[in-house]
Structure 1
Amino acid sequence: MHKTSSRIQHKPLNDIEGFDESTHYGVCGYVLVAMASLILILFFPFSLIWSLKVVQEYERAVIFRLGRIKGRRAQGPGLFFLMPCVDTFIKVDLRTFTFNIPPQEILTRDSVTVVVDAVIYARIYDATMATVNIKDARGSTNLLGATTLRTMLGTVGLSEILSDRDRIDRDMQNTLDNATHYWGVKVERVEIKDVRLPIQMQRAMAAEAEAGRMARAKVISAEGEMKAARSIKQAADVLQESPASIQLRYLQTLHSISEEQNHTIVFPLPASLFQNAQTALPRLLGAGMQEQKIVQGTKGTESAEQPLVTVMDTEVNTPF
């Protein structure tokens, strides 16, 4: 035989729908209230010193009569009345309060350990619910914010934490606001202040970002060179249509050089001149070689017709 255990959901003590306006104090309670009224009348007006209370504009007073809450709506701001000996009250501050979530070491979805801290802005919008339903609304909201931060950031990756903080802040705010509704607390804003990464991860991310920037720079430089080449080609086509424009461009260049007070003037020579020289130089060299061979041939024929050595017989007379 198996036991079936059913969980009974606890309903908030001062829920808006479940709050009962009709409060019964019992016979003894009514007797004590009557005695307090009699004391108030007997010691009037001195009893007003203990009966009249004042709360500030940003405060509300939750009144308890004989331990039971008196009325759904908290009293204030300004002057309100208490029955002596049977009424007590608790002041609740409605101003927005902030608290820092201490740094939390979180393991992200992509297995990266980060340390994250955040700040939460909240306020109490219902003083009665914040007093009756929870003991310490502010401290509980602080602890809930820390656990919610760990839960939310554990389901996202490192890139989302660094680039999509606004969405994470909104999701945390909605989660906290729904959880603190029955506490009378309104979470107005959640901000992730700082995300600290390990040193090795910072170096790896810096190297990756630098490599990406260098790749983009090379692509941009290549695109610029391609556009410059196209522009130069278009300019060359325009100059080719009008040969006189080349001379005008040459004069304009000389004028811009002379304005800078330079003592060196560069005279550009057309590339066609060098091409003509390259084609004419072999012809000139070939013609010179042929002339040299012809001259050498003519000299050889002339030397062949003349004897190499001429021997002359001479008679020598010697007187005695």
Structure 2
Amino acid sequence: MPRKERERGAHQREPKGRKQRKAPSEGKERLPEDKPEANQLKTEQEKEVKLKSTVVDIDSVREKEESLALLEAAEQEDGLKNKNLGVFEWLLMVFALALVLLFFPFSIWFCVKVVREHERAVIFRLGHRLQGKPKGPGLLFYLPFLDVCHKVDIRLRMLKVPLHTVVTKDLARPELSVVCYYQIENVALCSAALSSLTSVLQSVVQAAVRDVLAQHSFSHILLHRRRIGEKIKAGVDSVACRWGIRMERADIDELFLPVELQQTLATEAEAKRQQQIRVSSCNGFQ
């Protein structure tokens, strides 16, 4: 009897051990089944990220470009701030102030300048632009022989680009002139960044006109002159904002037909006239 009970106990213990041994093997077998699912999820997520990255919103890109241009303009403005003056420069300033105080009744007339309402003044002292906002309107005090006062008109200005030839999408070559209206917003940046404002803006406007008109046909330009002007204004504004200039409007002023198109239109008009004469003569004989 005890031997039989021992054998039965051994038989009962063996399947338990087997079951316990099989458990880790089952866990090991499940792991490779879970890994492909995780890999599939990762690949799907990567595909979604790639698809999202390929989709581009033009408006958001334009806003980012404008914001980057404004940031670049701000960085340029920070870079134009004056550095600390040297010892010799401080001595010159003290000497100039002493002369002004010594000859005060007469020197005051050389130290004061009037800035009008539509003007702003930028002062350069020994080559360094003074910190702070541009001065004006009102009375302005500066040191003679050391300071250079540069006045800038902040009113709305007009720039007329003369006639120049442009190639359209259908290979037509019309001649046109453009009128732009702009205003200076950042006086300090504009006065320090540009030497000749009109020539720089004229070249920028001509480049924008070529880029915009090359994307449209001549008939589309004739029908949608206002839209073309808005596109030209946006193209110029994206460049001019880096110099503290805001474009208000751009319009196509004069537009002349190319010589080839004039000849074709003349031949078509002459053919229609001859046809009308023939029709009228035929009706007279009847």
Report TM bin, short chain: 0.5 to 0.7
Residue of structure 1 equivalent to 2:12:
none
Matched-pair contact (CA < 8 Å) for 1:13–1:132 = no
Q: Quote the offset at 1:147 in angstroms.
A: 2.1
Q: Quote the offset at 1:14 in angstroms.
A: 7.2
In structure 2, do the counterparts of structure 1 residues 72 and 155 end up closer, same or farther at CA, with 3 Å as the change threshold?
farther
Distance in 1 between residues matched to 2:87 and 2:73, nearest whole Å: 27
Residue of structure 2 equivalent to 1:8:
none
In structure 2, do the counterparts of structure 1 residues 17 and 30 end up closer, same or farther at CA, with 3 Å as the change threshold?
closer
Tell me, yes or no, if structure 1 residue 46 matches structure 2 residue 124: no
Residue of structure 2 equivalent to 1:24:
84
Distance in 1 between residues matched to 2:102 and 2:163, nearest whole Å: 60
Tell me, yes or no, if structure 1 residue 59 matches structure 2 residue 107: no
Tell me, yes or no, if structure 1 residue 97 matches structure 2 residue 162: no
Distance in 1 between residues matched to 2:175 and 2:103, nearest whole Å: 63
Matches within 5 A, 1:1-320: 15-20=76-81, 23-202=83-262, 204=264, 207=268
TM-score normalised by the chain length of structure 1: 0.57
Distance in 2 between residues matched to 1:31 and 1:14, nearest whole Å: 31
Q: Quote the offset at 1:75 in angstroms.
A: 0.8
SS at match of 1:107: coil
Q: Deviations over 1:234-275 (max 9, x none)?
A: xxxxxxxxxxxxxxxxxxxxxxxxxxxxxxxxxxxxxxxxxx
Matched-pair contact (CA < 8 Å) for 2:80–2:129 = no
Q: Which blocks of at least 5 consecutive residues in structure 1 are unaligned? A: 1-10, 212-320
Q: Deviations over 1:96-146 (max 9, x none)?
A: 221221112112111112111111111222221111011111221122112
In structure 2, do the counterparts of structure 1 residues 110 and 184 end up closer, same or farther at CA, with 3 Å as the change threshold?
same
Distance in 2 between residues matched to 1:86 and 1:17, nearest whole Å: 23
Whichever residue aligns with residue 120 of structure 1, its letter is: C
Compute the RMSD of aligned alpha carbons: 2.5
- Whose Rg is larger? 1
Q: Quote the offset at 1:172 in angstroms.
A: 0.8
Distance in 1 between residues matched to 2:108 and 2:128, nearest whole Å: 23
SS at match of 2:166: strand
Matched-pair contact (CA < 8 Å) for 1:14–1:128 = no
Residue of structure 1 equivalent to 2:4:
none
Matched-pair contact (CA < 8 Å) for 1:120–1:189 = yes
Distance in 2 between residues matched to 1:135 and 1:38, nearest whole Å: 34
In structure 2, do the counterparts of structure 1 residues 193 and 84 end up closer, same or farther at CA, with 3 Å as the change threshold?
closer
Q: Quote the offset at 1:191 in angstroms.
A: 0.4
Residue of structure 1 equivalent to 2:36:
none
SS at match of 1:130: helix
Matched-pair contact (CA < 8 Å) for 1:133–1:182 = no
In structure 2, do the counterparts of structure 1 residues 118 and 74 end up closer, same or farther at CA, with 3 Å as the change threshold?
same
Q: Deviations over 1:262-293 (max 9, x none)?
A: xxxxxxxxxxxxxxxxxxxxxxxxxxxxxxxx
In structure 2, do the counterparts of structure 1 residues 172 and 115 end up closer, same or farther at CA, with 3 Å as the change threshold?
same
Distance in 1 between residues matched to 2:74 and 2:109, nearest whole Å: 32
Whichever residue aligns with residue 146 of structure 2, its letter is: V
Matched-pair contact (CA < 8 Å) for 1:72–1:128 = no
Q: Quote the offset at 1:204 in angstroms.
A: 4.7
SS at match of 1:128: helix
Q: Quote the offset at 1:194 in angstroms.
A: 2.2
Distance in 1 between residues matched to 2:176 and 2:198, nearest whole Å: 21
Matched-pair contact (CA < 8 Å) for 2:73–2:244 = no
The share of aligned pairs that are identical, in percent, is 30
Structure scoring higher RCO (CA < 8 A, sep ≥ 6) equals 2
Q: Quote the offset at 1:44 in angstroms.
A: 1.2
SS at match of 1:15: helix
